[in-house]
Structure 1
C-alpha cells in the first residue's frame, strides 16, 4: 500500500488527483495540508484523512510515503524542497516552478535525498501526441519546419475558474502559465532544444494576467513552433499540426490525417490511420505504479525544468517586449 499526502487543494486538478488515487486500489490518502487551513480541513474530512496545519509536521509522518503538490505555483520550490528533504516522493502539478533557478533547487534536493519525482504532463500519454512523436522519430515527415499547437477554453470568459487563478503572485502568469504548459512541453518533446522565443499576450477580460496568448519558438533544428492558448475562446478544438520537408500531420480533436512521400501507398493523398499508439495511464497513476512496483518514473526533473525554461523566457519576452535567446 502506498500512503500519500495531498499538499493543498489550490489547483483545480487537485480533487481529480485525489479521486484517481483513491480509486487506484493500492493507494491510501492519509493526510492533507493546505496553505488555507479551513479549506484543507474540510477536504481532509471529505477524503477520510487527517488534516495537518503544519507542513513540517505532516512531512515527519511515517504514514506518508509520497506527496501530491497542488499548492500555488509560487510555493512549489519551498514545498518540494521540504518534501524531498523529508524523504518523501513527489508528484507535482505543472509548472514545476516559476524559474529555472527554483527548478534547480528542487532538482538538487530530490537528487540528494534520492526520492522519486514526477510532473503532470498528461498530453504526453495520449495517442495523438504519441503518434506525432513516432512519425518524427521515424522521419516520416522529413525535417520538421513548422509545428502549430492550439489549446484553449472559455474559463476566464465565462468565469468558471477560481478568481485566484488570476493572481500573478500565486500563479506566476495567466493563460500561458496554465493551459499553455501543454503545448509548451509537447513542443519541447517533439522539437528538442529551443533557440529563441517571442511572445504576444493579451488581456481580453482586463484581469491582472493574460487570458489570450501566443508564443513563437525557434529551435536549434531550425524548426519553428507556434504555441497558442486562451481562456477566452468558445468550444476550442485542440489542434496539432506538424509540417515537414517530406510530409504533414494534421490533428484536430479526433481527426487525424497524414501525408508523406515516404508512405508506400497504391495511391497518393491524405490518409487517416486506422490504429494509433495505445493510450498510456495518466501521470498520477504512472507515478503511483512506479513507486509501488519499482517501474520507470515518467516525466522527471529534466522535463519539468525544460518547461519552466520555456515559460520563464516567454514571460520575459512579453514583459520586456523583445526576443529572448536561450543559453
Structure 2
C-alpha cells in the first residue's frame, strides 16, 4: 500500500488525481496540506484524510510515503525540495518549476534522497502522439522539417477557470505555462535539443497573463516547431502536423492521415491507419507503479527540466521582444 499526501488543491487537475489514486486499490490518501487553509480542510474532509496546516509537520509523518504536488507553480521548488529531503516520492503537475535553476535544485534534492520523481505528461501516453513518435524514430517521414502542435480551449473566454489562474505571481504565466506545456514537451520529445525561440503572446481578455500564445522554435536538427495554445478559442480541435523530407503526418481531432515515400501506398496517396500504438497508463498511475514496483519513470527530472527550459526561454523572448538562443 502506498500512502500519499496531496499537497494543495490549487491546480485544476488536483481533484482528478485524487480520484485516480482512490480508485487504484493499492493507494491510500493519508493527508492533505494546502496553502489555503479553508480549501485544504474542506478537501481533506471530502477525501476522508487528515489535514495538516504545516507542511514540515506533514512531511515528517511516517504514514506518508509519497506526495502529489498541485501547489502554485511558483511554490514547486520549495515544496518539492522539502518533500525530497523528507524522503518522500514525488509526483508533480506540470510545469516542474518556473526556471531551470529551480529544476536543477529539485533534481539535486531528488537524486540525493533517492526518491522516485514523476511529472504529468499525459500526451506522451496517447496513441496518436505515440504513433507520431514511432514514425519519426523509424524515419518514415525522413528528416522532419516542420512540426505544428495546437492545444486550446475557451477557459478564459467563458470564465470557467478559477480567477487565480491568471495570477502571475502564483502561476508564473498564462496559456503557455498551462496548456502550452503539452505541445512544448511533445516538441522536445520529437525533435530533441532546441537552438532558438521566438514568442508572440496576446491578452485578449485583458488579464495579467497571456491567454493566446504562439512560439516558433528552431531545433539543432534544423527542424522548426510551431507551438500554439489558447484559452480563448471555441471548441478547438487538437492539431498535430509533421512535415518531413519523405512524408507527412496530419492528426486533427483524432483523425489520422499519413503519406510517405517509405510506405507502400497506391498512387502515392494518403492512408488512415487502422491500428495505432496501445494507450499507456496515465502518468500518475505509471508513477504509482514505479514506486510500488521499483520501476523507472518514463518522464521525470530530465524531461521536466527540458520543458521548463523551453518555457523559461519563451517568456524571456516575449518580455524582451527578441530571439532567445539556447546554450
TM-score where L is the length of structure 1: 0.99
**Is 1:114 aligned with 2:114?**
yes
**CA displacement at 1:32 relative to structure 2:** 0.2
- Deviations along 1:87-133, one digit per CA (max 9) or x if unpaired, are 00000000000000000000000000011100000000000110000
**CA displacement at 1:243 relative to structure 2:** 0.1
Runs of 4+ aligned structure 1 residues displaced above 4 Å come to none
Distance in 2, matches of 1:246 and 1:286, equals: 35
Distance in 1, matches of 2:212 and 2:266, equals: 44
Note the 1:227-238 alignment, pairs <5 A.
227-238=227-238
Distance in 2, matches of 1:266 and 1:134, equals: 22
Distance in 2, matches of 1:56 and 1:158, equals: 38
- Deviations along 1:217-244, one digit per CA (max 9) or x if unpaired, are 0000000000000000000000000000
**CA displacement at 1:245 relative to structure 2:** 0.2
**Is 1:173 aligned with 2:168?**
no
- Deviations along 1:1-28, one digit per CA (max 9) or x if unpaired, are 0000000000000000000000001000
- Deviations along 1:230-272, one digit per CA (max 9) or x if unpaired, are 0000000000000000000000011000000000234420000
Which consecutive unaligned segments of at least 5 residues does structure 2 have?
A: none
SS in 2 for 1:142: coil
Question: What is the aligned partner in structure 1 of residue 189 from structure 2?
Answer: 189
SS in 2 for 1:198: strand
Question: What is the aligned partner in structure 1 of residue 63 from structure 2?
Answer: 63
Distance in 2, matches of 1:45 and 1:128, equals: 39
Note the 1:44-59 alignment, pairs <5 A.
44-59=44-59
- Deviations along 1:53-92, one digit per CA (max 9) or x if unpaired, are 0000000001111000000000000000000000000000
Q: CA RMSD in A?
A: 0.6
Question: What is the aligned partner in structure 2 of residue 94 from structure 1?
Answer: 94
Distance in 1, matches of 2:80 and 2:264, equals: 50
Distance in 2, matches of 1:104 and 1:38, equals: 33
Note the 1:263-282 alignment, pairs <5 A.
263-282=263-282
Note the 1:74-89 alignment, pairs <5 A.
74-89=74-89
Distance in 2, matches of 1:267 and 1:311, equals: 42
TM-score where L is the length of structure 2: 0.99
Note the 1:191-210 alignment, pairs <5 A.
191-210=191-210
Distance in 2, matches of 1:210 and 1:191, equals: 26
Note the 1:1-327 alignment, pairs <5 A.
1-327=1-327
SS in 1 for 2:213: strand
**CA displacement at 1:289 relative to structure 2:** 1.1
Q: What is the total number of aligned residue pairs between the two structures?
A: 327
